[in-house]
Structure 1
Amino acid sequence: MATAGVSISREEELRRHLAQVNDPELDEPVTEMGFVERAQVKADGSVEIDFRLPTYWCSPNFAYLMLDGIRKALDGLSWSPAYRVRLHDHMFAEEVNRGIEAGKTFGQIFGELSGDQDLESLRETFRVKAFKRRQEAVLCGLRRHGLTDREILGMDLAALDVVRFEPGEAARQMPRYRAALLERFPGRRPQDPVFVTCEGAGIPTSALNAYLAELRGVRINMEFNGALCRGLKHTRYKETDVVDGEPTLVDFILDRVPERATQTLT
Protein backbone atom coordinates (compact mmCIF):
# COMPACT_ATOMS: atom_id res chain seq x y z
CA MET A 1 0.00 0.00 0.00
CA ALA A 2 2.83 2.38 0.83
CA THR A 3 4.43 1.72 -2.57
CA ALA A 4 1.12 2.31 -4.37
CA GLY A 5 0.63 5.53 -2.41
CA VAL A 6 4.08 6.78 -3.37
CA SER A 7 3.43 5.91 -7.02
CA ILE A 8 0.12 7.81 -7.08
CA SER A 9 1.71 10.81 -5.38
CA ARG A 10 4.54 10.85 -7.92
CA GLU A 11 2.15 10.57 -10.85
CA GLU A 12 0.13 13.52 -9.52
CA GLU A 13 3.30 15.56 -9.06
CA LEU A 14 4.40 14.68 -12.60
CA ARG A 15 1.05 15.82 -14.01
CA ARG A 16 1.25 19.11 -12.10
CA HIS A 17 4.75 19.84 -13.37
CA LEU A 18 3.93 18.99 -16.98
CA ALA A 19 0.80 21.18 -16.82
CA GLN A 20 3.08 24.16 -16.17
CA VAL A 21 4.85 23.71 -19.51
CA ASN A 22 3.26 25.90 -22.18
CA ASP A 23 3.23 25.87 -25.93
CA PRO A 24 5.25 29.11 -26.23
CA GLU A 25 3.37 30.44 -29.25
CA LEU A 26 -0.09 29.79 -27.81
CA ASP A 27 0.50 30.20 -24.05
CA GLU A 28 -1.50 27.04 -23.42
CA PRO A 29 -0.30 24.00 -21.41
CA VAL A 30 1.13 21.25 -23.61
CA THR A 31 -0.99 18.81 -21.63
CA GLU A 32 -4.21 20.61 -22.60
CA MET A 33 -3.07 20.81 -26.22
CA GLY A 34 -2.71 17.02 -26.25
CA PHE A 35 0.99 17.08 -27.11
CA VAL A 36 1.96 14.85 -24.16
CA GLU A 37 0.63 11.50 -25.31
CA ARG A 38 2.10 9.46 -22.47
CA ALA A 39 3.60 10.41 -19.13
CA GLN A 40 4.44 7.44 -16.94
CA VAL A 41 6.25 6.89 -13.67
CA LYS A 42 7.86 3.45 -13.85
CA ALA A 43 8.14 1.01 -10.95
CA ASP A 44 11.77 2.05 -10.38
CA GLY A 45 10.79 5.74 -10.16
CA SER A 46 12.06 6.69 -13.62
CA VAL A 47 9.83 8.72 -15.94
CA GLU A 48 8.98 8.22 -19.60
CA ILE A 49 7.38 10.92 -21.76
CA ASP A 50 6.07 10.53 -25.32
CA PHE A 51 5.59 13.88 -27.05
CA ARG A 52 3.92 14.50 -30.40
CA LEU A 53 3.17 17.74 -32.27
CA PRO A 54 0.34 18.51 -34.72
CA THR A 55 2.42 18.23 -37.90
CA TYR A 56 5.65 16.69 -39.14
CA TRP A 57 6.95 20.16 -40.00
CA CYS A 58 6.07 22.07 -36.81
CA SER A 59 8.76 24.69 -36.27
CA PRO A 60 11.76 22.99 -34.65
CA ASN A 61 12.35 26.15 -32.62
CA PHE A 62 8.92 25.78 -30.99
CA ALA A 63 9.48 22.07 -30.45
CA TYR A 64 12.77 22.69 -28.67
CA LEU A 65 11.27 25.36 -26.43
CA MET A 66 8.56 22.95 -25.31
CA LEU A 67 10.97 20.07 -24.85
CA ASP A 68 13.28 22.31 -22.87
CA GLY A 69 10.30 23.21 -20.68
CA ILE A 70 9.56 19.51 -20.15
CA ARG A 71 13.19 18.86 -19.24
CA LYS A 72 13.08 21.62 -16.63
CA ALA A 73 9.77 20.30 -15.29
CA LEU A 74 11.26 16.83 -14.88
CA ASP A 75 14.41 18.23 -13.27
CA GLY A 76 12.15 19.88 -10.70
CA LEU A 77 10.47 16.65 -9.54
CA SER A 78 11.00 15.99 -5.84
CA TRP A 79 12.52 12.50 -6.26
CA SER A 80 15.02 13.51 -9.03
CA PRO A 81 14.24 10.61 -11.35
CA ALA A 82 16.07 9.40 -14.42
CA TYR A 83 13.87 10.18 -17.40
CA ARG A 84 13.42 9.57 -21.10
CA VAL A 85 11.64 12.07 -23.36
CA ARG A 86 10.81 10.96 -26.90
CA LEU A 87 9.66 13.28 -29.68
CA HIS A 88 7.70 11.35 -32.33
CA ASP A 89 6.76 11.98 -35.97
CA HIS A 90 8.72 15.20 -36.40
CA MET A 91 11.26 16.05 -39.09
CA PHE A 92 13.98 16.54 -36.43
CA ALA A 93 12.86 13.80 -34.04
CA GLU A 94 15.91 11.63 -34.71
CA GLU A 95 18.36 14.45 -33.98
CA VAL A 96 16.52 15.54 -30.86
CA ASN A 97 16.14 12.05 -29.45
CA ARG A 98 19.74 11.14 -30.23
CA GLY A 99 20.91 14.31 -28.51
CA ILE A 100 18.89 13.50 -25.40
CA GLU A 101 20.27 9.98 -25.25
CA ALA A 102 23.80 11.40 -25.54
CA GLY A 103 23.17 13.64 -22.54
CA LYS A 104 23.17 16.92 -24.45
CA THR A 105 21.05 19.84 -23.33
CA PHE A 106 18.24 21.06 -25.55
CA GLY A 107 20.15 24.31 -25.97
CA GLN A 108 23.09 22.40 -27.45
CA ILE A 109 20.81 20.50 -29.81
CA PHE A 110 19.12 23.72 -30.90
CA GLY A 111 22.45 25.40 -31.54
CA GLU A 112 23.71 22.58 -33.72
CA LEU A 113 20.60 22.58 -35.90
CA SER A 114 19.89 26.30 -36.13
CA GLY A 115 23.24 28.00 -36.58
CA ASP A 116 22.99 31.66 -35.58
CA GLN A 117 19.31 31.76 -34.61
CA ASP A 118 18.69 33.56 -31.32
CA LEU A 119 16.63 31.29 -29.09
CA GLU A 120 16.41 33.86 -26.29
CA SER A 121 14.98 36.45 -28.68
CA LEU A 122 12.30 33.94 -29.65
CA ARG A 123 11.53 33.27 -26.00
CA GLU A 124 11.09 37.01 -25.40
CA THR A 125 8.71 37.35 -28.34
CA PHE A 126 6.49 34.66 -26.87
CA ARG A 127 6.75 36.06 -23.33
CA VAL A 128 5.43 39.40 -24.61
CA LYS A 129 2.49 37.73 -26.36
CA ALA A 130 1.63 35.71 -23.26
CA PHE A 131 1.82 38.82 -21.07
CA LYS A 132 -0.59 40.65 -23.37
CA ARG A 133 -3.06 37.79 -23.66
CA ARG A 134 -3.23 37.26 -19.90
CA GLN A 135 -3.48 40.97 -19.21
CA GLU A 136 -6.36 41.46 -21.64
CA ALA A 137 -8.42 38.75 -19.94
CA VAL A 138 -7.95 40.35 -16.52
CA LEU A 139 -8.63 43.89 -17.72
CA CYS A 140 -11.85 42.84 -19.45
CA GLY A 141 -12.83 40.78 -16.42
CA LEU A 142 -12.43 43.78 -14.13
CA ARG A 143 -14.58 45.90 -16.41
CA ARG A 144 -17.29 43.24 -16.29
CA HIS A 145 -16.80 43.19 -12.53
CA GLY A 146 -18.07 46.78 -12.48
CA LEU A 147 -14.85 48.70 -11.88
CA THR A 148 -14.19 51.95 -13.72
CA ASP A 149 -11.17 52.33 -15.95
CA ARG A 150 -9.62 54.72 -13.45
CA GLU A 151 -10.09 52.22 -10.63
CA ILE A 152 -8.64 49.42 -12.71
CA LEU A 153 -5.54 51.30 -13.81
CA GLY A 154 -4.94 52.52 -10.26
CA MET A 155 -4.89 49.02 -8.77
CA ASP A 156 -1.84 47.67 -6.95
CA LEU A 157 -1.12 44.05 -6.06
CA ALA A 158 -3.07 44.19 -2.81
CA ALA A 159 -6.17 45.48 -4.61
CA LEU A 160 -5.86 42.89 -7.37
CA ASP A 161 -5.44 40.02 -4.93
CA VAL A 162 -8.80 40.60 -3.26
CA VAL A 163 -10.75 40.44 -6.54
CA ARG A 164 -12.78 37.26 -6.94
CA PHE A 165 -13.95 36.48 -10.44
CA GLU A 166 -16.65 34.04 -11.42
CA PRO A 167 -15.22 30.89 -13.07
CA GLY A 168 -14.06 31.73 -16.58
CA GLU A 169 -11.19 33.17 -18.56
CA ALA A 170 -10.51 36.12 -16.24
CA ALA A 171 -10.33 33.83 -13.20
CA ARG A 172 -8.03 31.43 -15.07
CA GLN A 173 -5.71 34.13 -16.32
CA MET A 174 -5.43 36.33 -13.23
CA PRO A 175 -2.82 34.22 -11.36
CA ARG A 176 -1.01 33.66 -14.63
CA TYR A 177 -0.92 37.40 -15.34
CA ARG A 178 0.26 38.10 -11.81
CA ALA A 179 3.09 35.60 -12.26
CA ALA A 180 4.05 37.08 -15.63
CA LEU A 181 4.05 40.61 -14.20
CA LEU A 182 6.35 39.72 -11.30
CA GLU A 183 8.62 37.67 -13.55
CA ARG A 184 8.91 40.53 -16.04
CA PHE A 185 9.33 43.25 -13.39
CA PRO A 186 10.93 41.54 -10.36
CA GLY A 187 11.71 44.86 -8.65
CA ARG A 188 8.09 45.96 -8.63
CA ARG A 189 6.97 47.56 -5.35
CA PRO A 190 3.66 46.54 -3.73
CA GLN A 191 2.20 50.01 -4.30
CA ASP A 192 3.07 50.13 -8.01
CA PRO A 193 0.26 49.81 -10.57
CA VAL A 194 -0.26 46.26 -11.75
CA PHE A 195 -1.41 47.23 -15.23
CA VAL A 196 1.44 48.50 -17.36
CA THR A 197 2.64 47.81 -20.88
CA CYS A 198 5.11 44.99 -21.43
CA GLU A 199 7.81 47.70 -21.47
CA GLY A 200 6.70 48.91 -18.03
CA ALA A 201 5.04 52.14 -19.12
CA GLY A 202 1.82 53.34 -17.52
CA ILE A 203 -1.47 53.15 -19.40
CA PRO A 204 -3.46 56.43 -19.48
CA THR A 205 -7.16 56.03 -18.81
CA SER A 206 -7.97 57.78 -22.08
CA ALA A 207 -5.88 55.24 -24.01
CA LEU A 208 -7.28 52.06 -22.45
CA ASN A 209 -9.79 51.30 -25.22
CA ALA A 210 -7.11 51.56 -27.91
CA TYR A 211 -4.71 49.50 -25.78
CA LEU A 212 -7.34 46.77 -25.31
CA ALA A 213 -7.93 46.68 -29.06
CA GLU A 214 -4.22 45.91 -29.52
CA LEU A 215 -4.35 43.16 -26.91
CA ARG A 216 -7.49 41.71 -28.46
CA GLY A 217 -5.67 41.33 -31.78
CA VAL A 218 -2.91 39.36 -30.06
CA ARG A 219 -5.43 37.12 -28.29
CA ILE A 220 -7.50 36.40 -31.41
CA ASN A 221 -4.38 35.41 -33.32
CA MET A 222 -3.27 33.07 -30.54
CA GLU A 223 -6.73 31.52 -30.18
CA PHE A 224 -7.01 30.98 -33.93
CA ASN A 225 -3.58 29.31 -34.10
CA GLY A 226 -4.49 27.19 -31.10
CA ALA A 227 -7.70 26.03 -32.74
CA LEU A 228 -5.82 25.06 -35.89
CA CYS A 229 -3.19 23.17 -33.89
CA ARG A 230 -5.87 21.19 -32.06
CA GLY A 231 -7.66 20.43 -35.30
CA LEU A 232 -4.49 19.37 -37.09
CA LYS A 233 -3.42 17.03 -34.31
CA HIS A 234 -6.93 15.65 -33.87
CA THR A 235 -7.12 14.74 -37.54
CA ARG A 236 -3.51 13.69 -38.09
CA TYR A 237 -3.77 10.90 -35.55
CA LYS A 238 -7.17 9.70 -36.76
CA GLU A 239 -9.17 10.43 -33.64
CA THR A 240 -12.04 11.08 -36.06
CA ASP A 241 -12.81 9.68 -39.51
CA VAL A 242 -11.82 11.75 -42.53
CA VAL A 243 -14.04 11.29 -45.56
CA ASP A 244 -12.96 11.92 -49.17
CA GLY A 245 -9.29 12.50 -48.44
CA GLU A 246 -7.39 14.98 -46.30
CA PRO A 247 -9.37 17.79 -44.60
CA THR A 248 -8.87 21.35 -45.77
CA LEU A 249 -8.18 24.49 -43.76
CA VAL A 250 -11.87 25.35 -44.07
CA ASP A 251 -12.76 21.99 -42.50
CA PHE A 252 -10.62 22.80 -39.48
CA ILE A 253 -12.12 26.26 -39.07
CA LEU A 254 -15.75 25.19 -39.46
CA ASP A 255 -15.63 21.88 -37.62
CA ARG A 256 -12.98 22.18 -34.95
CA VAL A 257 -12.51 25.81 -33.92
CA PRO A 258 -13.74 26.22 -30.30
CA GLU A 259 -16.96 28.19 -29.86
CA ARG A 260 -15.27 31.26 -28.42
CA ALA A 261 -12.74 31.47 -31.27
CA THR A 262 -15.52 30.95 -33.84
CA GLN A 263 -17.46 33.86 -32.39
CA THR A 264 -14.48 36.16 -32.82
CA LEU A 265 -14.26 35.23 -36.50
CA THR A 266 -17.88 36.11 -37.31
Structure 2
Amino acid sequence: MKHLLTIAVLGLGTASLSMPVTTSAQTVESEAAASTTTAPETAPAPAPEFEPGRRGRVDVGMGYSTLTGGNSNWNDQFVRGHIGLKPGTTLNWDLSSQRHFDERGTVGALSLTHTLSPWWYMSVGASAGSADFQNKYRGDIAIYRKWTDTQQWVSGLALMKSASRDGVHRDTGITASVAYYSTNAWVAEGGVVYNKSNPGAVDGFRGFAALTLGTEKQHYFTARIDHGKEGYLPTGAIADSGNHVGFQSTEVSLQWRQWLAKDWGYIVGGQFYRNPYYNRKGLSAALFFDF
Protein backbone atom coordinates (compact mmCIF):
# COMPACT_ATOMS: atom_id res chain seq x y z
CA MET A 1 0.00 0.00 0.00
CA LYS A 2 1.03 3.61 -0.43
CA HIS A 3 1.35 5.20 3.00
CA LEU A 4 0.10 8.74 3.64
CA LEU A 5 3.14 10.02 5.47
CA THR A 6 6.53 10.38 3.86
CA ILE A 7 8.87 9.85 6.80
CA ALA A 8 9.14 10.28 10.55
CA VAL A 9 12.79 10.63 11.55
CA LEU A 10 14.02 8.15 14.13
CA GLY A 11 15.88 9.99 16.81
CA LEU A 12 13.87 13.12 15.98
CA GLY A 13 10.22 13.48 16.21
CA THR A 14 8.44 10.48 17.76
CA ALA A 15 11.57 9.12 19.18
CA SER A 16 13.17 12.47 19.53
CA LEU A 17 16.47 13.29 21.14
CA SER A 18 16.75 13.44 24.91
CA MET A 19 19.13 15.39 27.16
CA PRO A 20 20.94 15.11 30.48
CA VAL A 21 19.11 16.08 33.63
CA THR A 22 19.98 17.39 37.04
CA THR A 23 19.92 14.07 38.87
CA SER A 24 19.19 11.50 36.19
CA ALA A 25 17.61 10.83 32.98
CA GLN A 26 15.27 10.95 30.11
CA THR A 27 12.02 12.94 30.24
CA VAL A 28 9.47 14.00 27.68
CA GLU A 29 10.59 17.57 28.29
CA SER A 30 14.19 16.62 27.63
CA GLU A 31 13.11 15.11 24.32
CA ALA A 32 11.38 18.34 23.39
CA ALA A 33 14.44 20.31 24.42
CA ALA A 34 16.75 18.37 22.19
CA SER A 35 14.52 18.26 19.16
CA THR A 36 13.17 21.49 17.78
CA THR A 37 9.89 23.07 18.74
CA THR A 38 8.38 22.00 15.43
CA ALA A 39 5.98 19.11 15.97
CA PRO A 40 7.07 16.12 13.88
CA GLU A 41 4.92 13.83 11.83
CA THR A 42 4.05 11.27 14.45
CA ALA A 43 3.20 7.97 12.79
CA PRO A 44 5.96 5.33 12.70
CA ALA A 45 8.40 5.74 9.86
CA PRO A 46 6.79 4.07 6.86
CA ALA A 47 8.84 1.88 4.62
CA PRO A 48 10.53 4.17 2.07
CA GLU A 49 8.45 4.91 -1.03
CA PHE A 50 9.09 7.68 -3.55
CA GLU A 51 7.32 9.35 -6.41
CA PRO A 52 9.08 8.91 -9.75
CA GLY A 53 11.75 11.59 -10.01
CA ARG A 54 11.44 12.55 -6.30
CA ARG A 55 14.23 11.82 -3.85
CA GLY A 56 13.67 13.81 -0.67
CA ARG A 57 12.66 16.88 1.28
CA VAL A 58 14.32 19.70 3.27
CA ASP A 59 12.69 21.74 6.08
CA VAL A 60 14.24 25.05 7.22
CA GLY A 61 12.72 26.91 10.13
CA MET A 62 12.72 28.28 13.66
CA GLY A 63 10.78 28.03 16.90
CA TYR A 64 10.15 30.07 20.02
CA SER A 65 8.77 28.98 23.41
CA THR A 66 7.89 30.77 26.64
CA LEU A 67 8.37 29.03 30.00
CA THR A 68 6.96 29.77 33.44
CA GLY A 69 8.54 29.13 36.85
CA GLY A 70 11.37 31.62 36.35
CA ASN A 71 12.84 29.73 33.37
CA SER A 72 14.18 31.65 30.38
CA ASN A 73 12.48 31.39 26.99
CA TRP A 74 13.68 29.04 24.25
CA ASN A 75 14.63 29.75 20.66
CA ASP A 76 15.64 27.30 17.94
CA GLN A 77 16.87 27.33 14.35
CA PHE A 78 16.94 24.10 12.39
CA VAL A 79 17.38 22.38 9.05
CA ARG A 80 16.24 18.79 8.58
CA GLY A 81 15.14 16.43 5.88
CA HIS A 82 15.39 13.05 4.23
CA ILE A 83 16.81 11.68 1.01
CA GLY A 84 16.25 8.38 -0.80
CA LEU A 85 19.58 6.62 -1.27
CA LYS A 86 18.00 3.84 -3.31
CA PRO A 87 14.58 2.17 -3.55
CA GLY A 88 13.71 0.96 -0.05
CA THR A 89 16.39 2.96 1.79
CA THR A 90 16.05 6.48 3.18
CA LEU A 91 18.58 8.64 5.05
CA ASN A 92 17.09 11.10 7.56
CA TRP A 93 19.08 14.00 9.03
CA ASP A 94 18.66 16.95 11.39
CA LEU A 95 20.86 19.85 12.53
CA SER A 96 19.58 22.32 15.13
CA SER A 97 20.96 25.33 17.01
CA GLN A 98 19.09 25.74 20.29
CA ARG A 99 19.07 28.13 23.22
CA HIS A 100 17.34 26.46 26.16
CA PHE A 101 17.66 27.15 29.90
CA ASP A 102 20.17 29.99 29.30
CA GLU A 103 22.57 27.82 27.29
CA ARG A 104 23.09 27.44 23.54
CA GLY A 105 24.05 24.18 21.89
CA THR A 106 24.05 22.34 18.58
CA VAL A 107 22.57 18.90 18.10
CA GLY A 108 22.85 16.66 15.06
CA ALA A 109 21.21 13.35 14.16
CA LEU A 110 21.26 10.76 11.40
CA SER A 111 19.03 7.74 10.89
CA LEU A 112 18.45 5.15 8.19
CA THR A 113 15.12 3.53 7.33
CA HIS A 114 15.42 0.34 5.27
CA THR A 115 12.90 -2.12 3.80
CA LEU A 116 13.70 -5.71 4.74
CA SER A 117 10.79 -7.38 2.91
CA PRO A 118 7.24 -6.52 1.75
CA TRP A 119 6.14 -6.97 5.40
CA TRP A 120 9.08 -5.76 7.48
CA TYR A 121 11.22 -2.62 7.69
CA MET A 122 13.57 -1.12 10.28
CA SER A 123 15.30 2.08 11.36
CA VAL A 124 18.60 2.78 13.10
CA GLY A 125 19.70 6.21 14.31
CA ALA A 126 22.31 8.11 16.28
CA SER A 127 22.54 11.66 17.62
CA ALA A 128 24.79 13.88 19.73
CA GLY A 129 24.72 17.40 21.18
CA SER A 130 27.19 19.99 22.45
CA ALA A 131 25.24 21.59 25.36
CA ASP A 132 24.48 20.33 28.86
CA PHE A 133 20.77 20.02 28.05
CA GLN A 134 21.54 17.77 25.05
CA ASN A 135 22.76 14.18 25.11
CA LYS A 136 26.41 13.31 24.69
CA TYR A 137 25.09 10.49 22.52
CA ARG A 138 21.87 8.62 21.81
CA GLY A 139 21.25 5.47 19.77
CA ASP A 140 17.93 4.06 18.51
CA ILE A 141 16.91 0.92 16.70
CA ALA A 142 13.34 0.02 15.65
CA ILE A 143 11.61 -2.77 13.78
CA TYR A 144 8.17 -2.48 12.10
CA ARG A 145 5.75 -5.11 10.84
CA LYS A 146 2.83 -4.56 8.44
CA TRP A 147 -0.36 -6.56 9.03
CA THR A 148 -3.50 -7.68 7.13
CA ASP A 149 -3.75 -8.19 3.38
CA THR A 150 -3.98 -4.44 2.79
CA GLN A 151 -0.98 -3.72 5.09
CA GLN A 152 -2.90 -0.87 6.71
CA TRP A 153 -1.89 -1.89 10.24
CA VAL A 154 1.72 -1.36 11.33
CA SER A 155 3.19 -2.37 14.69
CA GLY A 156 6.56 -1.21 15.94
CA LEU A 157 9.08 -1.93 18.67
CA ALA A 158 11.90 0.55 19.33
CA LEU A 159 14.88 0.49 21.72
CA MET A 160 16.80 3.57 22.89
CA LYS A 161 20.05 4.09 24.80
CA SER A 162 21.42 7.52 25.76
CA ALA A 163 24.05 9.15 27.98
CA SER A 164 24.31 12.69 29.32
CA ARG A 165 27.31 14.94 28.95
CA ASP A 166 28.11 14.75 32.69
CA GLY A 167 29.35 11.17 32.27
CA VAL A 168 27.04 9.91 35.02
CA HIS A 169 23.43 9.80 33.88
CA ARG A 170 22.13 7.22 31.43
CA ASP A 171 18.77 6.15 29.99
CA THR A 172 17.37 2.98 28.45
CA GLY A 173 13.92 3.00 26.87
CA ILE A 174 11.54 0.79 24.92
CA THR A 175 8.54 1.91 22.86
CA ALA A 176 5.71 -0.28 21.56
CA SER A 177 3.35 1.28 19.02
CA VAL A 178 0.60 0.47 16.56
CA ALA A 179 -0.61 2.60 13.64
CA TYR A 180 -3.52 2.37 11.23
CA TYR A 181 -3.20 3.88 7.73
CA SER A 182 -6.73 4.57 6.49
CA THR A 183 -7.64 4.67 2.81
CA ASN A 184 -9.56 7.88 3.62
CA ALA A 185 -6.53 10.14 4.10
CA TRP A 186 -5.88 9.72 7.82
CA VAL A 187 -3.42 7.91 10.05
CA ALA A 188 -3.91 7.08 13.75
CA GLU A 189 -1.17 5.91 16.09
CA GLY A 190 -0.92 4.99 19.77
CA GLY A 191 1.71 3.49 21.98
CA VAL A 192 3.40 3.14 25.34
CA VAL A 193 6.93 4.05 26.41
CA TYR A 194 8.92 2.54 29.29
CA ASN A 195 12.12 4.29 30.39
CA LYS A 196 14.69 3.50 33.10
CA SER A 197 17.00 6.29 34.25
CA ASN A 198 20.27 5.76 36.13
CA PRO A 199 21.72 6.28 38.65
CA GLY A 200 18.72 5.59 40.85
CA ALA A 201 16.89 3.11 38.57
CA VAL A 202 13.98 5.52 38.15
CA ASP A 203 11.15 3.89 36.18
CA GLY A 204 8.75 5.86 34.01
CA PHE A 205 5.75 4.88 31.87
CA ARG A 206 4.06 7.13 29.33
CA GLY A 207 1.30 6.78 26.77
CA PHE A 208 0.84 8.70 23.51
CA ALA A 209 -1.72 9.04 20.73
CA ALA A 210 -1.60 10.89 17.42
CA LEU A 211 -3.84 11.58 14.45
CA THR A 212 -2.76 12.83 11.01
CA LEU A 213 -5.21 14.01 8.35
CA GLY A 214 -4.38 14.93 4.77
CA THR A 215 -2.84 13.97 1.46
CA GLU A 216 0.66 14.32 0.03
CA LYS A 217 1.11 17.41 -2.18
CA GLN A 218 -1.92 19.06 -0.56
CA HIS A 219 -1.69 19.35 3.22
CA TYR A 220 -1.29 17.43 6.48
CA PHE A 221 -2.68 18.24 9.92
CA THR A 222 -1.18 16.37 12.88
CA ALA A 223 -2.33 16.37 16.53
CA ARG A 224 -0.48 14.50 19.26
CA ILE A 225 -0.83 14.06 23.03
CA ASP A 226 1.71 12.48 25.37
CA HIS A 227 1.15 11.88 29.10
CA GLY A 228 2.81 9.98 31.92
CA LYS A 229 5.61 9.85 34.43
CA GLU A 230 8.96 11.61 34.07
CA GLY A 231 12.03 10.77 36.09
CA TYR A 232 13.74 14.11 36.70
CA LEU A 233 13.74 17.73 35.63
CA PRO A 234 16.04 18.68 32.73
CA THR A 235 19.38 20.33 33.30
CA GLY A 236 19.05 24.07 33.88
CA ALA A 237 15.33 24.02 34.76
CA ILE A 238 14.28 26.06 37.79
CA ALA A 239 11.88 24.50 40.30
CA ASP A 240 10.67 26.14 43.50
CA SER A 241 9.96 23.11 45.68
CA GLY A 242 9.86 19.33 45.93
CA ASN A 243 12.42 16.66 45.14
CA HIS A 244 11.64 16.77 41.39
CA VAL A 245 11.61 13.00 40.98
CA GLY A 246 8.84 10.85 39.52
CA PHE A 247 6.32 13.50 38.51
CA GLN A 248 3.51 13.53 35.94
CA SER A 249 3.61 15.69 32.80
CA THR A 250 1.58 16.24 29.64
CA GLU A 251 2.52 17.55 26.20
CA VAL A 252 0.16 18.45 23.33
CA SER A 253 1.36 19.46 19.85
CA LEU A 254 -0.35 20.53 16.63
CA GLN A 255 1.16 20.96 13.16
CA TRP A 256 -0.06 22.08 9.73
CA ARG A 257 2.01 21.28 6.61
CA GLN A 258 0.72 23.08 3.50
CA TRP A 259 1.91 22.78 -0.10
CA LEU A 260 1.81 26.12 -1.94
CA ALA A 261 3.13 24.59 -5.17
CA LYS A 262 4.22 21.18 -6.38
CA ASP A 263 7.67 21.37 -4.79
CA TRP A 264 7.42 23.62 -1.75
CA GLY A 265 5.24 24.95 1.06
CA TYR A 266 5.19 25.95 4.72
CA ILE A 267 4.80 24.35 8.16
CA VAL A 268 3.32 25.98 11.27
CA GLY A 269 3.04 24.35 14.67
CA GLY A 270 2.12 24.90 18.29
CA GLN A 271 3.07 23.05 21.47
CA PHE A 272 2.00 23.06 25.11
CA TYR A 273 3.78 21.21 27.91
CA ARG A 274 3.18 21.20 31.65
CA ASN A 275 4.59 19.56 34.76
CA PRO A 276 4.14 20.47 38.45
CA TYR A 277 6.99 23.01 38.27
CA TYR A 278 6.54 24.97 35.05
CA ASN A 279 4.63 25.22 31.75
CA ARG A 280 5.98 25.68 28.22
CA LYS A 281 4.11 27.19 25.25
CA GLY A 282 5.73 27.20 21.81
CA LEU A 283 5.20 28.30 18.22
CA SER A 284 7.21 27.25 15.18
CA ALA A 285 7.35 27.96 11.45
CA ALA A 286 9.32 26.52 8.54
CA LEU A 287 9.54 26.32 4.76
CA PHE A 288 9.97 22.95 3.09
CA PHE A 289 11.24 21.99 -0.37
CA ASP A 290 10.75 18.71 -2.24
CA PHE A 291 13.37 17.53 -4.71
Instruction: Give the greater-gyration-radius structure (CA).
Output: 1
Higher RCO, 1 or 2 (CA under 8 Å, sep at least 6)? 2
Q: Relative to total residues, which structure has the larger strand share, 1 or 2? A: 2
The bucket for the TM-score relative to the shorter chain is under 0.3
Q: Relative to total residues, which structure has the larger helix share, 1 or 2? A: 1
Q: TM-score normalised to the size of structure 1?
A: 0.25
Q: TM-score normalised to the size of structure 2?
A: 0.24
